[in-house]
A and B are shown apart, each in its own frame.
Chain A
Amino acid sequence: MGQTFAQKVLARAAGLDEVAVSQIVTVRPAHLLTHDNTAAIIGKIGDDLAQYGVVSPDLSVIVLDHVTPAANEKTATGHKNVREFVAKYGIHNFYDVGEGICHQILVEKGHARPGTIIVGSDSHTCSYGALGVFSTGVDRTESAALLLTGQTWLKVPPTLRITLRGRFQPGVGAKDLVLRIIGDIGADGATYSAVEFHGDIANLSVPERFTVANMGIEMGAKVAVFPVDEQTVEYLEQVGVARGSYEPLWADADADYVRELEYDLAALEPVVAKPHTVDNVCPVGEAAGTRINQCLLGTCTNGRLNDLREAAGILKGKRISPNVRLLVLPASRAVFEAATEDGTMLTLSRAGATVLPPGCGPCLGAHQGVLAPGEACLSTANRNFKGRMGCKEAEIYLAAPATVAASALYGEITDPRKEM
């Protein structure tokens, strides 16, 4: 019997020839990602760090992104504690306020290498599956233990196989695909499982694959992964990871899957996830006309250059509705600079957008665009849970950048194909 991607990566990491589904293995991840929550993580193990130190200064990648710049004294103190920790232990992969969202930085700075294992104290750590990385989220306590020991346990997951065929129609994109999948299989449709994407992968750009892999957790998945192809190799070269300097892995043709699904990309249409679960998905037409007060373009799901350009393409020369605030958050400084150079930022600003610094912004409800009771937001983020954006009496709808841009023009949910 052939082996899945997850079986192969976990076997190699554990130094075994083969592993079986449900087997528990001990692994030493290539990297541990932590962000603002590094402050709470090191706070748990102050005495242990004094006694044992960190297992390796190379293990950590630390990015301040969640509440940046600091919103209050408490978050500012957290950031300060992280900077002191980083200096004390010589942690060189540290990115301070303003560099960008941890998942974008980890990739842009060349820390995500195909065939390796990365764990992070953030649920969207699954994003690097776009580059053939086995990456998954853990909690703060496990991150603390990892800082001390460098190792953890992982259970070999069963795998779902999703085959993609064809190409997207104009106005339809990767976000619509992944929301459609979550709507079909449910928010727990891939719980404990790995998800492999097969088929016409070349029809999705690497940034589009990030959008899909990022939302693996919203179907409950442990990892959501794409094969490494020539586009991946070129993308990695652009971020300084040399061709041939890593060893990708992929599933055998006769690997065993718990479930197989197939999607015809040409048959997809723009969709919206309605409040308050990500699997509450409908075609955009069914939600059209819903009044919205705020639009959010950005986050680790859809804050890359291709996403901002797509929105700018719709908004060029137009003005958003006076009843809507359009917030734009580039995923990183590099994205911000590229979007500034090519005029995308100017287009968005002239259309009425408010540009926020690279980071997570209002996605988790801590600052920079919290909603009021009775308000609705249409967002390119990944979660629409009640209270997510800081107010439990507000409603959050999720959609692709094109849908968010088109909707900003009218102050109500709008089919982006009308604007093309």
Chain B
Amino acid sequence: MKVWKYGDDINTDMLFPGKYTYTCSTAEEIKPHLLEDLDSEFAGKVAEGDILFAGKNFGCGSSREQPALGLKAVGVQAIVAKGFARIFYRAAINQGLLLVECAEAVDAYKDGDEVSLDPQAGQIKVGGKVLNFPKLPPEILAIREAGGLLPYTRAALKKR
């Protein structure tokens, strides 16, 4: 498991350039361009279970969902940041991607630290430190737990 660490205001163009927005929509099309203008190594090296650490306002900018969709598809376990932009926050819920808003965890992390997550308890372990993060309210958690908004919606439509 690798931790990828980035700074403040990581915007949607850095996560997935706008020039591909109308030609790449599926996970397979998105994957090679993930974080292309931010970190050219990322798309080739990211692996199942990896975690992203970032500063404030992660995902600001466009409503494009390719960053959330792509990061979920490559198996990113969670994004830990000091804060998230609101459309990205919703997009992550809609894809079933775990976001951890915890400035203390970001500040505590040093290269090589072991990181583990317990989303049920709302706890993150960084190095030796155990820190709490806010859990989603139950009605929103249900969307993530269904695997995202479309599986959740399909289940609701079936019940009608």
Could you list which residues of chain A lie within 8 angstroms of chain B, going by C-beta atoms? 24, 36-37, 39-40, 43-45, 48, 52, 66-67, 72, 74-75, 78, 120-123, 125, 137-142, 144-145, 148-149, 153, 187-188, 191-192, 217, 220, 222, 277, 364-366, 370, 383, 385-388, 390, 392
Contact = CB atoms under 8 A, between A and B. Distances in A.
Contacts of B22: 36-37, 39-40, 66-67, 74-75, 78, 366
B68 A366 contact: no
Interface of B: 9, 11-14, 17-19, 21-23, 25, 37, 56-57, 60-65, 68-69, 83-87, 90-91, 94-95, 137, 139-140, 148-150, 152-154, 156-157
B2 to A, nearest CB: 24
7 contacts: A139-B64, A142-B91, A187-B9, A191-B84, A217-B61, A366-B19, A387-B37
Nearest to A121: B63
B56 A188 contact: yes
Contacts of B56: 188
B42 to A, nearest CB: 14
B140 A364 contact: no
Contacts of A217: 61, 87
A67 B24 CA distance: 14
B25 A149 contact: no
Nearest to B95: A141
Given A123-B63, A141-B150, A387-B14, A277 B21 contact: no
A383 B23 contact: no
A36 B20 CA distance: 13
Contacts of A149: 153, 156-157
Contacts of B83: 188, 191
Contacts of B9: 187-188, 277
Nearest to A221: B86
A139 B63 contact: yes
A220 B19 CA distance: 22
Contacts of A220: 57, 60, 85-86
A192 B37 CA distance: 26
A135 to B, nearest CB: 12
B64 to A, nearest CB: 7
A138 B85 CA distance: 12
B153 A145 contact: yes
B149 A191 contact: no
B21 to A, nearest CB: 7
The interface centre, meaning the residue of A43, A125, A138, A192 with most chain B CB atoms within 10 A of its CB, is A138
Contact of B63 (A36, A138, A390): A138
Of the candidates A43, A121, A141, the one having the most CB atoms from chain B within 10 angstroms of its own CB is A141
Contact of A141 (B19, B91, B140, B157): B91
B65 A140 contact: yes
A24 B140 CA distance: 9
A280 to B, nearest CB: 10
A383 B14 contact: no
A153 B56 CA distance: 25
A222 B86 contact: yes
Nearest to B91: A139
A139 B149 CA distance: 11
Contact of B68 (A43, A137, A139, A222): A139
Contact of A153 (B37, B91, B139): B139
A242 to B, nearest CB: 32
A220 B56 CA distance: 11
Given A40-B25, A139-B87, A386 B19 contact: no
B23 A364 contact: no
Contacts of B17: 365, 387, 390, 392
